[in-house]
């Protein structure tokens, strides 16, 4: 019983602190499926009209499904690009004796410290010149490039924990350097790959500035830009619909966290366990 | 297969680790590379398997010059000190890995894995992961993986260092049994003289990147070339005392002890400073020369006792004898030594 006596103040304190947050989310959800009389918080009718954006496309706006698909493509493609390149670059930087390795690592770090927003005008111009402005591919490439330094460092850290004897044993067993990486080393850094993939996906999913500037309209629009468009629209401003879209936008993130929360908690449990 | 290192040198940048080493390992023999930490044993091993490029010299497998052949094509089996098992694979997959790399048909892989698992006695563990094995079992898996592709030579880098005392004893004879059964040429790197003496056909003793002596364990023990070799072999170790040649015999420094020059040594000219080495088993109740000292320490080893006796000049000799009740601490004793069993070294450590 003593254990209970000790924990209840903590539970109480946490409840008080997190109550406003919980309330906010509850109201966000309630507002999307109800109407309240003017000037009151308390809803008086149930309605699905705020979710109507799911089945009817407003004039002058792209279809929500198109936009969702774009967001999904954007997030998965950047994540895939970041994963493929970081997992290889991290290995090379961790293990192979490439000339100028330390400078490269320092350079990568500086790049990461550089706020992407300061580059946006230059990137905008470059994309226009090469014809990738207002395309999904263009903004995917830019986002992947910006996320890459972090990914490379993260992966290098994971590779550093893999004992080199494993690789030497693989080489002695007759495997090529590439096979050793693919079959022996990569499986040891699975937690890193998983974490990086998930974070890159979430970063892509939540990204707003880059798509807003580089692919603002038409077929390349992503959810965050669509959502921003809703508040910017002064003519038929619909607060509750804005909340519904917001909730809809959050859903995949919540699902990802619920599905993977155990694995996420374990990521730093050890780099090389089998 | 016979392995030959010819004038092999290795440096890391400016650091010369091995200089001009020539070493032959005969077909089917097990050779120990014995030496203190940092003397270049692992470096030699890694040069043989191709992890390190040699700075100069040649490496021959049989008649084939493999100096510039990449590791993958040398077909060398290596057992690393940490075993380096692949943690994400089962024991069976670990052992099968080198065969699968060679694109061997799956049925044949299975057959060979089972055969080698039988040889090293791990038939029951094939489905487990390395993390679910004891140290000794991991060691056996590592051996199986190194042997399954029938390598030209088996290299063992301190394979027993991570095992506890009892397992070490067991794996010592196991590794030797497996080596003899397969008839493979093997090199064992160790800094433990007991391992080297008990497991190997010959010992190459190294110090500071140089091979000091190569001989069978018996020969090396009986006939060490230098004081370093004599000091490295034997447990409890040999004791050294300083002396001087005088009138055809040896006068221990600052003590009234005279020892005759052993028959196997040349008589040094008068006044030459020398070092006398006396093994613990040579000092005791029999012999033609007498050494006087005070018993300063008694260590019980069960069947035998180890006595330290301190001479009047302060040097300490060791004697191993059956347990005696007539000796107590601080007794002054006069013990015998057979003069032919002592070793005589020059001041620089060379045997005289
Ligand atoms: N990559 C390297 N770069 C520079 N010096 C090295 C390198 N590898 C080894 N050395 C040096 O070479 C010497 C011999 O090293 P080696 O690993 O062969 O010793 P060893 O006999 O195996 O010792 P131990 O019993 O401790 O394993 C050491 O002095 C070590 O510092
Ligand atoms: Mg070593």
- Any idea where the domains of chain A sit in the sequence? 2-47, 66-235+247-268
On whether both B202 and B244 belong to a single domain, the answer is no
Give B82's contacts in chain A (Cβ within 8 Å): 163, 165
Mean pLDDT of A120-129: 90
Domain boundary among the residues B198, B223, B248 is at B223
Mean pLDDT of B99-111: 93
User: How does the average pLDDT of chain B come out, rounded?
Assistant: 89
Element (H, E) at A97: none
- Measure CA B337 to chain center: 28
Whether B231 is in a domain gets the answer no
Q: Which fold has domain A66-235+247-268?
A: MetI-like fold (1.10.3720)
On whether both B153 and B247 belong to a single domain, the answer is no
B101 touches A at CB < 8 Å? yes
Is the model more confident about A272 or about B168?
Answer: B168
A205, pLDDT greater than 60: yes
Mean pLDDT of B145-161: 90
**pLDDT tens digit sequence for B228-240:** 999 999 888 899 9
Nearest CA in chain A to B147: A173
**Cβ pair A136, A72 in contact under 8 A:** no
- Specify the CATH number for the domain of residue B51: 3.40.50.300
A38, pLDDT greater than 80: no
Nearest CA in chain A to B83: A165
Specify the range with the lowest mean pLDDT, choosing from A184-188, B87-91, B181-185, B254-258.
B254-258
A274, pLDDT greater than 70: no
| A273 confidence band (pLDDT: 50, 70, 90) | very low
* Torsion, Cα of B188, B191, B195, B198 (10° steps): 90
Tokens of B266: 């040349």
Atom of ligand 1 nearest to the CA of B81: 27
Tokens 């791990």: give the residue: B122
**Cα three-residue angle B284-B285-B291, rounded to 5 degrees:** 60
Whether B230 is in a domain gets the answer no
On whether both B143 and B254 belong to a single domain, the answer is no
Secondary structure of residue B71 in the 3-state scheme: helix
On whether both B177 and B264 belong to a single domain, the answer is no
Residue B11: predicted pLDDT = 92
**pLDDT tens digit sequence for B186-241:** 999 998 889 999 999 999 999 988 999 999 999 999 999 999 999 999 888 899 99
What is the spatial distance between Cα B104 and Cα B98, in angstroms, rounded to a whole number?
9
Residue A261: predicted pLDDT = 79
Residue A4: predicted pLDDT = 59
Terminal C-alpha separation, chain B: 36
| A2 confidence band (pLDDT: 50, 70, 90) | low
Specify the range with the lowest mean pLDDT, choosing from A235-244, A251-260, B287-296.
A235-244
Say yes or no for a CB contact (<8 Å) between B49 and A170.
Answer: no
B25, pLDDT greater than 90: yes
Is the model more confident about A267 or about B196?
Answer: B196
- For chain B, helix (H) and strand (E) counts, in that order, are 8, 20
B326, pLDDT greater than 60: yes
Proportion of chain B above pLDDT 70, given as a percent: 100
On whether both B214 and B285 belong to a single domain, the answer is no
A5, pLDDT greater than 70: no
User: How does the average pLDDT of chain A come out, rounded?
Assistant: 85
Residue ranges making up the domain that contains B317? 239-346
Give A174's contacts in chain B (Cβ within 8 Å): 72-73, 75, 98, 101-102, 149
A77, pLDDT greater than 50: yes
Give the mutation candidate from A161, A171, A173 for the B interface (greatest B CB count, under 10 A): A173
Secondary structure of residue B166 in the 3-state scheme: helix
What string of DSSP letters covers B190-241? ES-HHHHHHH-SEEEEEETTEEEEEE-HHHHHHS-SBHHHHHHSSSSPPEEE
- Pairing label, strands B56-61, A45-46: unpaired
Which of the ligands is closest to the CA of residue B35?
Answer: 1
Mean pLDDT of A97-114: 84
| Bond prior to B236 in cis (omega within 30° of 0) | yes
On whether both B328 and B195 belong to a single domain, the answer is no
Domain boundary among the residues B172, B192, B223 is at B223
Domain boundary among the residues B188, B223, B258 is at B223
**pLDDT tens digit sequence for B41-55:** 999 999 999 988 999
Whether B234 is in a domain gets the answer no
Residue A232: predicted pLDDT = 79
B33, pLDDT greater than 80: yes
Whether B352 is in a domain gets the answer no
Give B91's contacts in chain A (Cβ within 8 Å): none
Mean pLDDT of B128-156: 91
On whether both B278 and B217 belong to a single domain, the answer is no
On whether both B271 and B129 belong to a single domain, the answer is no
B104, pLDDT greater than 90: yes
On whether both B118 and B211 belong to a single domain, the answer is yes
Whether B351 is in a domain gets the answer no
What is the spatial distance between Cα B207 and Cα B34, in angstroms, rounded to a whole number?
9
On whether both B69 and B120 belong to a single domain, the answer is yes
Residue B99: predicted pLDDT = 94
Whether B80 is in a domain gets the answer yes
Whether B232 is in a domain gets the answer no
Secondary structure of residue B51 in the 3-state scheme: coil
Residue B27: predicted pLDDT = 93
- Specify the CATH number for the domain of residue B330: 2.40.50.140
Tokens of A163: 């004992």
On whether both B163 and B250 belong to a single domain, the answer is no
Mean pLDDT of A188-208: 91
A269, pLDDT greater than 60: no
Proportion of chain A above pLDDT 90, given as a percent: 35
- Measure CA A151 to chain center: 13
Residue A3: predicted pLDDT = 55
Pocket of ligand 1 (CB under 6 A): B 12, 15, 17, 35, 37-43, 191
The number of folded domains in chain B is: 2
């Amino acid at each position: 019983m003593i254990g209970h006596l000790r924990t209840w103040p903590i539970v109480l304190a946490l409840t008080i602190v997190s109550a406003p947050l919980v309330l906010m989310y509850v109201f966000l959800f309630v507002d999307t499926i109800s109407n309240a009389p003017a000037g009151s918080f308390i809803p008086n009718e149930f309605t699905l009209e705020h979710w109507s954006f799911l089945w009817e496309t407003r004039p002058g706006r792209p279809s929500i499904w198109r936009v969702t698909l774009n967001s999904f493509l954007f997030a998965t493609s950047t994540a895939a690009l970041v994963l493929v390149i970081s997992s290889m670059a991290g290995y090379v930087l961790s293990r192979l004796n490439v000339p100028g390795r330390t400078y490269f690592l320092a350079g990568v770090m500086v790049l990461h410290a550089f706020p992407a927003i300061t580059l946006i005008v230059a990137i905008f111009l470059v994309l226009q010149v090469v014809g990738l402005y207002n395309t999904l591919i263009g903004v995917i490439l830019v986002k992947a490039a910006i996320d890459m330094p972090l990914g490379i460092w993260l992966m290098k850290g994971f590779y550093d924990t893999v004992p080199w004897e494993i690789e030497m044993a693989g080489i002695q067993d007759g495997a090529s350097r590439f096979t050793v990486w693919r079959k022996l080393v990569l499986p040891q850094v699975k937690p890193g790959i998983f974490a990086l993939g998930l974070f890159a996906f979430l970063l892509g999913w939540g990204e707003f500035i880059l798509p807003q500037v580089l692919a603002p309209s038409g077929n390349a629009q992503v959810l965050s830009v669509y959502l921003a468009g809703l508040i910017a629209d002064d003519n038929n401003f619909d607060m509750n619909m804005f909340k519904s879209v917001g909730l809809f936008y959050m859903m995949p993130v919540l699902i990802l966290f619920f599905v993977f929360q155990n694995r996420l908690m374990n990521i730093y449990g050890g780099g090389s366990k089998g | 297969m016979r392995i030959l290192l010819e004038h092999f040198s290795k440096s890391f940048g400016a650091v010369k680790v091995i200089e001009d080493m020539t070493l032959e390992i005969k077909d089917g023999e097990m050779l120990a590379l014995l030496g203190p930490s940092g003397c270049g044993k692992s470096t030699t091993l890694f040069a043989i398997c191709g992890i390190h490029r040699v700075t100069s010299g040649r490496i021959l497998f049989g008649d084939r010059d493999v100096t510039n052949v990449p590791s993958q094509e040398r077909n060398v089996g290596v057992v690393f000190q940490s075993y380096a098992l692949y943690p994400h694979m089962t024991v069976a997959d670990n052992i099968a890995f080198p065969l699968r790399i060679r694109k061997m048909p799956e049925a044949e892989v299975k057959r060979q894995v089972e055969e080698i698992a039988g040889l090293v006695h791990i038939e029951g563990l094939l489905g487990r992961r390395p993390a679910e094995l004891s140290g000794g079992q991991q060691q056996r898996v590592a051996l199986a993986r190194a042997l399954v592709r029938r390598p030209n030579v088996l290299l063992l880098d301190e394979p027993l260092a991570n095992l506890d005392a009892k397992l070490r004893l067991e794996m010592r004879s196991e590794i030797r049994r497996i080596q003899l059964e397969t008839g493979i040429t093997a090199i064992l790197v160790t800094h433990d003289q007991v391992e080297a003496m008990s497991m190997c056909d010959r010992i190459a003793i190294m110090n500071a990147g140089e091979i000091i002596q190569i001989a069978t364990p018996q020969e090396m023990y009986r006939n060490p070339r230098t004081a370093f070799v004599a000091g490295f072999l034997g447990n409890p170790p040999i004791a050294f005392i300083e002396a001087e040649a005088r009138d055809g015999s040896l006068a221990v420094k600052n003590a009234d002890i005279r020892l005759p020059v052993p028959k196997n040594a040349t008589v040094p000219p008068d006044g030459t400073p020398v070092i006398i080495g006396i093994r613990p088993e040579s000092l005791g109740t029999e012999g033609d020369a007498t050494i006087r000292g005070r018993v300063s320490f008694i260590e019980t080893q069960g069947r035998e006792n180890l006595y330290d006796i301190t001479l009047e000049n302060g040097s300490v000799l060791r004697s191993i004898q059956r347990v005696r009740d007539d000796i107590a601490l601080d007794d002054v004793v006069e013990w015998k030594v057979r003069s032919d069993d002592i070793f005589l070294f020059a001041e620089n450590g060379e045997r005289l």
